[in-house]
Structure 1
Amino acid sequence: MSTVTRTAGATVEFRGLRRAFGATTALDGLDLTVEPGELLALLGPSGCGKTTALRILAGFETHDGGDVLVDGAAITSIPAHRRDAGMVFQSYSLFPHLTAVDNVAFGLRMRGTGKAERRARAEELLELVGLPQHAARYPHQLSGGQQQRIALARALALEPRVLLLDEPLSALDAKVRLSLREEIRRLQQELGITTLFVTHDQEEALSMADRVAVLRAGRLEQCAAPAELYARPATAFVAEFVGTMSRIPAERSGDGVEVLGRRHAVDGTLPADGRVDVLVRPENVRLTPAEDGPAQVVAASFLGAVTRLTVRLADGTTVKADLPTAEAAALPIGGRAELALPERPVLVDHRAS
């Protein structure tokens, strides 16, 4: 049984962090706090600055302004090898000439830890990640998932205050990725280590993280618990980046909007001018079979208990709706339907021109 102990968890703060590469701004005044012991996912499209933020925290990248603090102390002037952060990369980065146990113990050897102590520590960590029987194997004798577990154990060997994960699952196949993300989450909670997880995969972020920080063009759009981020996105960008959203043209009606023949209050701020769209998730769309309905079913995707239907409105707008599969059977391709939204405030955005 492993005797690896739980850590206290550090507080990490990005304060006004800025970084540019020539004319490209990677980080534009990032302000973000990671609470002790939480797993925070940095989510966003390629080029949004999430990996740059992680590399600055690790000491592998410099910054142009702002600061990074760990437990209240600025660390940006401290060399990478003294920052007490463990990092796991997408590419595993194991030493091919070392066995699994020696890969895990490598950092301890560089620190001058005695042979017996580092061997015992490495064996504990191999047990923690479920690979004690693979101690004598070399990287080429391990699967991708096993190699990534070894890389994770190596990152934990020095008992870092912060664990940094840079898209560690993206090179793995779907089944292994699912298993390993559950394993990483279990270990993170068991050890209580503050963890930053960079990913462009929204499913990974929502399923693993305590909170998710969505970045866009070097700025923080929203940071919230997964359920809040999904149900109450702060901006149209977050709404469309996290999960699936349909846009339905709407008309202004006082301080609300009229959409599909009904008036709705607005969740948030109504744009000051211009035409607007309502943003709606598939599970919030209601479809009812109707011979003369305004919506026509043009596609269906079976998802198990739910079937996702795509319908087209008279103006060419397409809307996705998730229905129980038994109900969706009454709406075949080419069938017509009435479409309605729940009677609650809706999120709106400027209509694309």
Structure 2
Amino acid sequence: MSTSMATGSAQLDATATPPRLQVAGDWTLAHYASLEQAVAALKPPLGTDTVIDLSGLGALDTAGASLLAEVLGASRLGDLAQADPTLPAAQRALLQTIGAAMADYREPKLIRQGNTLTDLLSRIGAAMENVWHQQVQLLGFIGLTLQTFARTVLLPRRWRVTSLVAHLEETGLDAVPIVVLLTFMVGAVVAFLGSTVLADFGATIYTVDLVAYSFLREFGVLLTAILMAGRTASAFTAQIGSMKANEEIDAIRALGLDPMELLVLPRVLAMLAALPMLTFLAMIAGLVGGGLVCALVLDIPPVMFVNLIKSDIGVRHFLVGIAKAPVFAFLIAVIGCLEGFKVSGSAESVGEHTTSSVVQSIFVVILIDAVAALFYMEMGW
């Protein structure tokens, strides 16, 4: 390789037949400014019939090679470097590499600047499309869960009893203190506020009916479902998502096991068993909280409180409330498991899908509860 420090040059002899381009000197970063002017004067790229003479080429680096690629064209530069035996091996390799890289290069597309209204409508449309895809995935996962249950329910040897009991303890027994405490406090607040309002009408006795009616039909199951959505759905997503990130689910499939049967079904069944029992405890705790306020503030003794509930509140109100618990339980468990399977493999993805599972679960619970309330009202139940 030449060790001269002469500035590189490119002389085009247009009078020759065919035209001839003489490349000489050092094509390096130190001479980039003058080389760029010489290349611009040639109005690249040159025609394919132009003969290229690289015999006078001195030092060469990537900056000079990129300018040669601009003059000759990326594909022709690579072919020329491969065909010219006079070039040192290092220069041939560099020219071929630059030619291949420049051939794959594409000019980035300019992003069209839209106005505020267009951007807003675009984001709304993207959000709606995302919601639609989520609902389609949820329906498909519900079908897959039901299919797995139907396939295994008649095969006792495939039941995961140990896993079911463990999840039942985690989702049910461990949640009893927080559910009972919260509903007890809410029951007391509802009774206190109800008595304050009803006192203006001289109807404080109906505070008992207010507490019983609200907790048996709505608050008992709704508060419990929201608590389980925040507590258990997030746990399901984090557990399955961590397994997905660590490729443990792939290992389960490699062992010939079904992740739906091994991971999803025990969690769904545990939630189906736990939520109705927790709902019943929440109803009792809410009534106890309301009864305590009635006893302390309204001078309604517990015996009278219970007798008023027995005479004024029918069993159908309890059945209306408890009937919603299995539906909520199934949807919460399925959403939590589905979001766990969506995790892509990073800790950030686990956090995002855990948040998404909680938000979706609470939204679905409130939506289904509102629809059910309208349905019961129209049916007169």
TM over 0.5: no
Larger Rg: 2
* TM-score, reference length from structure 1: 0.17
- TM-score scaled to structure 2, two decimals? 0.17
Q: In proportion to residue count, which structure has more strand?
A: 1
